[in-house]
Structure 1
Amino acid sequence: MIVVIGAGRIGGALHQRDPHQFALVDRQQGWELLEREPGEPILLAVRNDDLLAVLERVPERRRADLVFAQNGMLRPWLREHGLTEVTRGLLFVAVPTRGAPIEPGGESPFFGPHAATMVQAFTRVGLPAAVVSADAFAAVELEKLIWNCAFGLCCEAFDCDVGTVVRDHAEQLRALVAELLEVGAPALGVELELGPLVNRLCDYSRSIPSYRGAVKEWPWRNGWFVETAREQGRATPTHAQLLARVGRG
């Protein structure tokens, strides 16, 4: 059994798909499940900004069982809270609205102590997943982060959907992705080729052309690139220009 903290879109949809496989903990109910003996995964299906409040309610002896599957750059936060050895995941699923069934997407990667258990649970309910190495996870983590940050910023800056970004703003997009890659790759110890990366990001966007991203979760996404570029002494003029255009300069 996987204990899922958070009754939002993802947590609720996993519980709906198989209530016996995914036991739900919401703001008021289910917390007694965390009093069980250590060894069962605890998937955190909450927003990044809610992580600290949730962590404070998790017994110390159960924190090694935590599974973090949030988007965004979690690594600094995990280091700060002594959680570098926990299980990580990235969910390639879609839940259009709260209460809607979960829709399988690509293969969701997991690594860490409970990776195999998470993959078994996901595949058992028809959600593709795989155990990956730390290096492989970092590469996917950076690629997904760049997609969220680049397309979110371009959608907001050009007031359009991701399909239009690919079609009408390819030059600015490539320059932006190049800058984010130059910042993120050394920070995560990852090597990704720019051309194939841009192609993959655009191919994915073409598969969901009407989706409109936005600049959000600032410290976990674009804000992390701004701060890391500053620490590296690296200029990111395209990123800065587009951020200024949306009032984040």
Structure 2
Amino acid sequence: MKHKFRFSGSVSLPPSWLPVLGIFLSLRASAFQSVYLRKNIVSQQTSALHMYTTFYRSPCPHEDLPHSRKSLVRLWQIRSDQQHTEDYFRFIEGKEEPDKCDQASVIIGKGKLGQALVQWGGMGEDDLLLGRDDCIPTVLTVSNGCTLNMFPIYVCVPEWEVESVILGCPKEKRNDLVFMQSACLETLLKRYGLANKKTTQCLPYFSISPFGLPVEGRVQYDVSKTDGEPKFAGQTVVCGTWRGAVAERLRKQDLHVEVMDYTYWRKHMLERLLFDSLFGLLACVHADSGEKTYGELAQNHWEEIDDMVWELSRAIANIMAVVLLTHVERRVRGLAEGPHWRDRKPQMPTCREYPFRNGMLRSLSRSFTSRGFPSPMPTHDEYLDFVRERKLVSYDVDQDI
């Protein structure tokens, strides 16, 4: 008796065909992964306007839009970077470049961090400590008379002085810059083509004591339910060309440093942006209520913080196509209530700090509201409007970034 396909709502196959069909589908899937993906043909299209899909449910979604909204749709339509696929295959094939070791370096900035890095490196006179306005050399001569053409250049200046360091650095040495700021420099680095996986960036979660010793800010916020391993927040992370050298120098002081690629480092950076921006803003808004420290704000205003973390995380995912790591709200609270931050007093960013903290979030929101869209982060905007109306800061919160 012949078996036939029946298309009246379902397909009937003999039981003996099922293993054959399963093998066929698995082979097709393997061929797709090894050939189709390997040739970088697949490109996942991501819409940064996912939050507003309800607005575009007409049969011709963009026909009735004003011109400004049509241009915004074109502006925020992005494609995922195929470089990630290439990096993945390079990783599984063992073709990644090995991390560099610590070596003689140039360190810009004679503050506590710059002097500490010289002391921690143990290179003696081989490390070159420069002031903020000193010329950056293209070659470095060490004590044994050898000259180095490749060496890291640590940038240990406040975030508002980073641009002057970039402009003063020879163009052929800009890829060797190591940015040691805790603020978000992404907008600034994009301006000079440095927001990429080769640029070395360190997100420090430590401070320097008066004796030049590091005080680590890492805190355990949970324990894994699967293997019982502790989960930490506030761990220093580094990415880029010189990530291995930076990590080795910091680990000499028993600091916990995680080395990662730029994609994951960016998630940590944006998480730090949320932490700094939210607590400074809340401290300013609730200045009359008596809560002054991170711990007090986290304990008495956690519902506000939790709502804003969720709101900003969603906005960042839809606007910047960066999905933050899970349990970000638990890490934020763990940091605020941890011993390193608990008794500290958050401050609203100064005029020079604002573009690298709340100002960056505000500029993302204004790119939508200026074209008639609703704000992707309404609570954050409402709090900033309150600060502006009450004149709690002396600068314009809507300044161009």
- TM bucket normalised to smaller: 0.7 to 0.9
The correspondence for 2:382, drawn from 234, 241, 244, is: 241
Residue identity in the other structure for 1:206: E
| Number of the residue aligned with 2:243 | 115
Deviations 1:67-123 (A, max 9, x none): 1232233222112112234112211111256x6432233332111111112112221
The answer as to whether partners of 2:136 and 2:170 remain within 8 angstroms in 1 is no
1:65 positional shift = 0.5
Aligned length: 246
Query: In 2, Cα distance between the equivalents of 1:8 and 1:219?
Result: 22
Question: Partners in 2 of 1:212 and 1:140 — Cα distance?
Answer: 22
CA displacement at 1:19 relative to structure 2: 5.3
Q: CA deviation at 1:61?
A: 2.0
Partner of 1:185: 317
Which is richer in helix? 1
- Answering whether residue 116 of structure 2 is matched by residue 13 of structure 1, we say yes
Choose from 224, 247, 263 the match for 1:135.
263
Cα shift at 1:198: 1.3
Residue aligning to 2:9: none
* 1:28 CA displacement: 6.2
- For residues 317 and 116 of structure 2, the distance between their equivalents in structure 1, rounded to whole angstroms, comes to 33
- 2:293–2:343 Cα contact (<8 Å) kept: yes
SS in 1 for 2:361: helix
Q: Aligned pair in 2 of structure 1 residues 151, 135: CA closer, same or farther (>3 Å)?
A: same
Q: Does 1:87 align with 2:220?
A: no
Q: Which has the larger radius of gyration?
A: 2
Q: CA deviation at 1:163?
A: 0.9
2:362 aligned with 1:226: yes
The one-letter code of the counterpart of 1:142 is: L
Pair 1:79–1:238, CA change in 2 (3 A): same
Q: What are structure 1's unaligned runs of at least 5 residues?
A: none
Q: 1:104 aligns with which of 216, 226, 229?
A: 216
Note if 1:214 corresponds to 2:342: no
Larger relative contact order (Cα-Cα within 8 Å, sequence gap ≥ 6):
1
Residues 164, 121 of structure 1: CA spacing in aligned structure 2 closer, same or farther, 3 A cutoff? Answer: same
Q: Distance in 2 between matches of 1:142 and 1:200?
A: 13
Task: State how far apart, in whole Å, the 2-side matches of 1:243 and 1:74 are.
Answer: 21
Q: Give the match for residue 48 of structure 1.
A: 159
Structure 2 segments unaligned to the other structure (5+ residues): 1-103, 141-147, 219-234, 389-396
User: Quick one: distance in 2 between partners of 1:188 and 1:23?
Assistant: 38
TM-score by length of 2: 0.56
User: SS at 1:226's partner residue?
Assistant: helix
Q: CA deviation at 1:206?
A: 0.4
CA RMSD of aligned residues (A): 2.4
For the Cα contact (< 8 Å) 2:132–2:157, is it kept in 1? no
Question: Who is 1:163 aligned against?
Answer: 295
AA partner of residue 346 (structure 2): G
Q: Quote how far apart the aligned CAs of 1:34 are.
A: 4.9
Distance 2:117 2:271 in 1: 25
